[in-house]
Amino acid sequence: MRHRVRWTYSGRLVEEIAAMLVMELDQGGRQ
């Protein structure tokens, strides 16, 4: 699976960034 690092990296990166943004927006909205 290490040969698909690029595909996993792209998908994971987008998911992680989206999750972080959602958490930040959620916290900012609450405060």
CA angle 24, 11, 2 (to 5 degrees): 130
- pLDDT (tens digit per residue) in 1-31: 566 666 666 678 888 899 999 999 988 877 6
What pLDDT, on a 0 to 100 scale, did the predictor assign at position 11? Answer: 75
What pLDDT, on a 0 to 100 scale, did the predictor assign at position 14? Answer: 84
Residue 10's alpha-carbon distances to 6, 15, 16, 27, in angstroms, are 6, 9, 10, 26
Assess contact for 23 and 30: CB atoms under 8 A. no
Alpha helices for the chain (secondary structure H): 5-30
CA gyration radius, the chain:
13
